[in-house]
């Protein structure tokens, strides 16, 4: 009889999933909350306009958390982020009667170094993601300034568009209300009931696994210790090593009796058919 402990499967899956979530792949697991960000896939943009007479300045963040941005058509290559960028921040200056002028292009998230600092927010509920991009040149006398994207996903029933909050020369703050910001708990204290149900089922399953594992170990221990006892005490060998051998030899007959008794309660008990084999 081979019993595979059912419990090792969930443990393996758990180890595997924590390895996978170490690399950002549109799924974030933090504080035992799972955030499935695939609902946020696709290109999005958040813009703020600053009035800077005699012109206006459009600060725009284009981003796609789950894939690299596609090159923008009709925009010169120097006026957009290189390939392999997932979040690109641009400042575009607009002036009446003149064509738009891209004055800054700042990559904030690159797929080669995707490793956001993620924090689960409790009030309001949500997820804070901070990505670091390459440094951007500053004044000639100073060293380049590290650039960050601070994306705050707020848990909401309905999705709104992302909102550009601010840029202070180093960090772009974007806020987004979206159902994807509502984490799904994978332990008690989580939020979604259906998930808890699945979890409970798994726990019961692994409990059964443990029960059979312990039972198997007990059986093995019983036979091993019994054989050892028979060997040391009686110098037994071969079949005689089996502890309580007489009893175990009777087991098939007893099982047959029980089955035949159950199957045909009409017929008389068949115990006698064995012809007094019972060893007392």
Ligand X SMILES: *[C@@H]1O[C@H](CO)[C@@H](O)[C@H](O)[C@H]1NC(C)=O
Mode of pairing for the β-strands spanning 145-155 and 171-178:
parallel
* Residue 176 or 209 with smaller CB distance to ligand X: 176
Sole window of 105-113, 162-170, 225-233, 262-270 interacting with ligand X (rule: CB under 6 A): 162-170
**Omega cis (within 30) before 51:** no
Q: Does the footprint of ligand X cover residue 44 (CB under 6 A)?
A: no
Read off the tokens for 66: 């789950």
Torsion of CA 27, 31, 33, 35, to 10 degrees: -30
Interface map 83-122 toward ligand X (x if CB under 6 A): ----------------------------------------
Distance CA 185, CA 196 (A): 8
Q: What span, in angstroms and rounded, lies between the C-alpha atoms of 128 and 126? A: 7
Shortest reach from residue 209's CB to ligand X, in Å:
24
User: What does DSSP say about strands 184-185 and 85-94: parallel, antiparallel, or unpaired?
Assistant: unpaired
- Nearest-approach distance from CB 113 to ligand X, in angstroms: 18
Number of residues that bind ligand X (CB under 6 A): 14
Cα distances (Å, whole numbers) of residue 84 to 5, 64, 65, 67, 216: 45, 11, 12, 9, 54
Q: For residue 207, give every residue at least 6 positions away whose Cβ sits within 8 Å of its Cβ, in sequence order, or none.
A: none
Cβ closer to ligand X: 152 or 230?
152
Q: Which of 9, 75, 121, 171 binds ligand X (CB under 6 A)?
A: 171
Can residue 52 be called a binding residue for ligand X (CB under 6 A)? Answer: no
Please state the closest distance from residue 270 (CB atom) to ligand X, in A. 57
Footprint on residues 22-41 left by ligand X (CB under 6 A): 27, 36, 38-39
- Within the chain, residue ranges assigned H as helices are 8-21, 193-234, 245-263
- DSSP class of residue 72 equals P
Q: Which of 170, 187, 237, 249 binds ligand X (CB under 6 A)?
A: 170
C-beta of 49: minimal distance to ligand X in Å? Answer: 19
Note whether 59 binds ligand X by CB under 6 A: no
Nearer to ligand X among residue 12 and residue 249 (C-beta): 12
Residues of this chain that bind ligand X (CB under 6 A): 27, 36, 38-39, 130, 150, 152, 165, 168-171, 173, 175
């Amino acid at each position: 009889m081979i019993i595979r402990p059912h419990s090792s499967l969930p443990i393996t899956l758990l180890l595997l999933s924590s390895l996978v979530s170490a690399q950002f792949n549109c799924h974030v697991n933090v504080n035992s909350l799972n955030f499935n960000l695939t609902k946020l896939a696709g290109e999005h943009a958040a813009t703020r306009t600053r009035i800077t007479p005699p012109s206006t300045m459009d600060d725009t963040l284009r981003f796609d958390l789950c894939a690299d941005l596609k090159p923008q058509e009709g925009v010169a290559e120097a006026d957009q982020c290189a390939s392999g960028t997932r979040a690109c921040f641009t400042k575009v200056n607009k002036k009446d009667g003149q064509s738009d002028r891209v004055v800054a292009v700042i990559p904030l998230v690159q797929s080669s170094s995707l490793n956001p600092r993620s924090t689960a927010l409790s009030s309001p509920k949500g997820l804070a993601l901070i990505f670091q991009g390459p440094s951007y040149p500053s004044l000639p006398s100073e060293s380049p300034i590290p650039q960050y994207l601070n994306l705050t996903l707020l848990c909401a029933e309905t999705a709104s568009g992302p909102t550009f909050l601010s840029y202070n020369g180093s960090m772009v703050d974007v806020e987004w209300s979206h159902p994807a910001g509502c984490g799904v708990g994978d332990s008690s204290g989580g939020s979604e009931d259906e998930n808890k149900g699945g979890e409970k089922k798994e726990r019961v399953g692994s409990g059964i696994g443990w029960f059979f594992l312990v039972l198997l170990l007990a059986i093995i221990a019983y036979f091993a210790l019994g054989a050892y006892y028979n060997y040391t005490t009686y110098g037994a060998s071969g079949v005689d090593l089996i502890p309580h051998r007489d009893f175990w030899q009777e087991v098939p007959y007893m099982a047959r009796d029980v089955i035949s008794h159950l199957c045909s309660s009409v017929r008389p008990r068949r115990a006698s058919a064995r012809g007094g084999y019972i060893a007392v």
